[in-house]
Amino acid sequence: MANISMSYEITMIFSLSVGEEGVTALCEKFKALIGENATIDKVEEWGKRRLAYPINDEMEGFYLYVEFTGKPEFPSELDRVLKITDGVLRSLIVRKEQA
């Protein structure tokens, strides 16, 4: 099972409380982390959006969506880093169906 690559998509929501520069830094950090460990297929900055429900008393967040192809063990490491990073409100990594 060596060198099997899978397609994934991740949506990250960053806190606006870190400020505009903080949000930009978080976007760059995670794009770089994904780029170092996987092949980025698509990046969309959805920008500031209203949350479906308050998270940590915040009503809005900055959304970043990335599609990438990488080894099956990378998403769990990415998830671990997201969980310990200040300014990340939520994230969801989904494996895409292979065509």
Whether pTM > 0.85 for this model: the answer is yes
In a domain? residue 73: yes
In a domain? residue 99: no
**What's the domain count of the chain?**
1
In a domain? residue 53: yes
In a domain? residue 61: yes
pLDDT for the residue 75: 96
Cβ 89 vs Cβ 55: under 8 Å: yes
In a domain? residue 1: no
In a domain? residue 52: yes
Can you give the residue range of the structural domain that contains 36? 6-94
pLDDT for the residue 1: 46
pLDDT for the residue 24: 97
Cβ 85 vs Cβ 26: under 8 Å: yes
Q: What is the CATH number of the domain that holds 73?
A: 3.30.70.60
Going by the DSSP 8-state scheme, the letter that residue 19 receives in this structure is H
pLDDT tens, N- to C-terminus, the chain (99 residues)? 456 889 999 999 999 999 999 999 999 999 999 999 999 999 999 999 999 999 999 999 999 999 999 999 999 999 999 999 999 999 999 999 876
Which is it for strands 58-70 and 38-55: parallel, antiparallel or unpaired? antiparallel
**Using CA atoms, how far apart are residues 26 and 98, in angstroms rounded to an integer?**
29
